[in-house]
Amino acid sequence: MDAAVSHHTCKELLVSLSDYLDGEAAEALCAEIERHLADCEDCRVVVDTLRKTILLYRTLPPPSPPQTIRARLLHALELDKDAP
């Protein structure tokens, strides 16, 4: 079910979520966030799905450049010719 996270405390928490998930939030802030999460189901869902989102894109295989790109690049830059 869709509903906006709109409560004042929730909005304040939202601003610090990246720091929290990156382990960069101060200990006191972490404790405050965790206290809030224990009582706020909406924010818990946002935190869990945000963490999962980060996990998914960080484990996404990177796109590979075309195999011919190196040869074409060296040719365009005239690096495939013998030095004068």
Taking the complex as a whole, the smallest distance from the CB of residue 35 to another protein amounts, in Å, to 13
Structure tokens at 35: 């206290």
- Element at 58 (helix H, strand E): helix 41-58
- Interior angle at CA 32, CA 44 and CA 8, nearest 5: 70
- List residues binding another protein (CB under 8 A): 1-6, 11, 14-15, 17-18, 20-23, 30, 42, 44-46, 48-66, 69-70, 72-74, 76-77, 79, 83
Our CB check for another protein shows the closer of 17 and 36 to be 17
What's the number of CA atoms in the CB half-sphere (13 Å) around residue 77?
7
Least CB distance to another protein at residue 43 (A) = 9
Q: Which is nearer to another protein, 3 or 28 (CB)?
A: 3
CB of 55 to another protein, least distance (A): 6
Alpha-carbon gap, residue 21 to 53, rounded angstroms = 12
